[in-house]
């Protein structure tokens, strides 16, 4: 069936699609509207509609009393729970229309979980409910999704940061002398981040830099979840010492302010030469894909070259989006290394090489690419959204 930009929701409240499958009660434009993710089954308002509105994409949103044949039923996923039967939570009307192929589901998910595992689970659920296997599409923040039928990668965090930080103008790119070499920020303790920050610290690569590590804010993970082999680096005891001396801060912002995308600490961008981005994941759930968040796009908007400590293929993903990754000025070969420990060693070598340079002259050589990236980020994202819709329709 040839689907147009027709979308359907169980309820439309004040022109907003009420989150599909949600049990939590809230009204649009209230603080409670942002709390769906905290409540089972953790489905949320789909950011897709907000992106459409912001970037001028025309679409029709209806409830089931006015739905067209050939519409998308969008389920915003806060986090994907493998114990939940998402199709069982849909009404019989929705399941019946899925069986008749009058409707298709779009699961909209901006996290980086392994999309291969998600596909296996959703296909199993389709089989259990006697639903056609092509009754759903899945939008993921993991680049590996583009290699899976019915799945699509979308850089949702790029658009989220565009929207939430739009009141702050991009930082002007200047060529005056800067006091610091690097900006290296970490708001949440994870064991891989502790490993890389300890390694940079003991090698002296954080000297003369803005850097932070919040040991008092931790992700829910075990030490064994670390994708980097700490004993291969002979660093286990050093990590313990590094964490015991924390937290480390380079500003006076609170934890809540650090997590507020409406704010930035300007001197982190105007007074250091390069951003060492500690991304959310160093290995995206064993998927082989990359996952980019506001941590990378913040450096892009606010005028810094960057090195990414993150998943393999992170720079390749940025290039595919049209960004420049300073390949003439940075040894970016680390991006192609799949082994996590070897990739980190290569990232560290890249950082050490940069620290040995005349960073002022180096920064000047990056200026054209910095300005290109800023302009691309600040422009409309209508093309991104139209490409996503085309992939969803044609897959």
Q: What is the mean pLDDT of residues 256-261?
A: 74
Contacts 24+ apart (CB under 8 A), 17-25: 17/45, 17/46, 17/49, 17/61, 17/74, 19/43, 19/44, 19/45, 19/46, 19/76, 20/46, 20/73, 20/74, 20/75, 20/76, 20/90, 21/75, 21/86, 21/89, 21/90
Q: Given a cut of 60, is residue 2 above it in pLDDT?
A: no
- Provide the pLDDT for residue 3: 59
* Domain boundaries of the chain, sorted by first residue: 6-154, 165-378
- Provide the pLDDT for residue 258: 73
CATH of domain 165-378: 3.40.50
Upper half-sphere CA count for residue 70 (Cβ side, 13 Å): 7
Q: Given a cut of 60, is residue 89 above it in pLDDT?
A: yes
Q: Given a cut of 60, is residue 155 above it in pLDDT?
A: yes
Q: Given a cut of 60, is residue 1 above it in pLDDT?
A: no
- The answer to whether 311 and 284 are in contact (CB under 8 A) is yes
Using alpha carbons only, what angle is made at residue 37 by residues 31 and 42, rounded to the nearest 5 degrees?
140
Q: What is the pLDDT of residues 210-225, one digit of tens each?
A: 999 999 888 889 999 9
Q: What is the mean pLDDT of residues 180-206?
A: 97
Q: What is the mean pLDDT of residues 109-130?
A: 98
Token reading at 187:
């708001």
Q: What is the pLDDT of residues 331-349, one digit of tens each?
A: 999 999 999 999 999 999 9
- Provide the pLDDT for residue 384: 97
Q: Given a cut of 90, is residue 92 above it in pLDDT?
A: yes
Which residue, among 151, 144, 168, has the nearest Cα to 108 in the 3D structure? 151
- The answer to whether 21 and 76 are in contact (CB under 8 A) is no
């Amino acid at each position: 069936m040839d689907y147009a930009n027709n979308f359907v929701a169980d309820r439309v409240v004040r022109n907003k699609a009420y989150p599909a499958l949600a049990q939590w009660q809230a009204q649009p434009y209230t603080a409670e509207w942002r709390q769906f993710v905290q409540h089972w089954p953790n489905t949320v308002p789909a950011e897709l509609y907000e992106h459409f509105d912001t970037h001028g994409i025309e679409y029709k949103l209806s409830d089931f009393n006015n739905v067209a044949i050939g519409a998308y039923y969008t389920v915003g996923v806060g986090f994907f729970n493998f114990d939940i039967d998402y199709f069982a939570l849909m009404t019989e009307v929705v399941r019946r229309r899925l069986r008749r192929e009058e409707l298709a589901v779009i699961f909209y998910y901006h996290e980086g979980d392994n999309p291969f595992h998600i596909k296996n689970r959703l296909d199993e659920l389709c089989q259990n409910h006697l639903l056609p296997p092509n009754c759903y599409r899945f939008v993921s923040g993991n680049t590996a999704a583009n290699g899976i039928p019915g799945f699509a990668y979308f850089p949702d965090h790029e658009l989220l940061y565009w929207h939430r930080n739009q009141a702050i103008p991009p930082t002007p790119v200047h060529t005056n002398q800067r006091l610091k070499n690097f900006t290296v920020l970490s708001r949440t303790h994870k064991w891989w981040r502790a490993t890389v920050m300890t390694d940079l610290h003991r090698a002296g690569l954080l000297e003369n830099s803005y850097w932070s590590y919040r040991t008092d804010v931790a992700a829910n993970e075990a030490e064994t979840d670390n994708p980097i082999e700490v004993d291969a680096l002979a660093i286990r005891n050093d990590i313990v010492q590094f964490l015991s001396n924390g937290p480390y801060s380079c500003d006076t912002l609170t934890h809540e302010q650090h997590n507020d995308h409406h704010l930035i600490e300007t001197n982190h961008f105007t007074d250091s030469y390069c951003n060492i981005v500690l991304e959310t994941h160093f290995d995206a759930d064993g998927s082989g894909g990359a996952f980019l968040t506001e941590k990378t796009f913040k450096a892009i908007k606010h005028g810094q070259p960057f090195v990414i400590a993150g998943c393999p293929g992170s720079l390749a993903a940025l290039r595919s989006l049209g960004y420049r990754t300073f390949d003439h000025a940075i040894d970016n070969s680390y991006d192609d290394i799949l082994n996590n420990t070897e990739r980190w060693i290569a990232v560290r070598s890249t950082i050490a090489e940069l620290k040995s340079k005349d960073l002022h002259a180096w920064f000047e050589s990056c200026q054209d690419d910095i300005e290109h990236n800023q302009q691309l980020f600040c422009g409309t994202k209508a093309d991104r959204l139209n490409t996503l819709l085309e992939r969803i329709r044609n897959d």
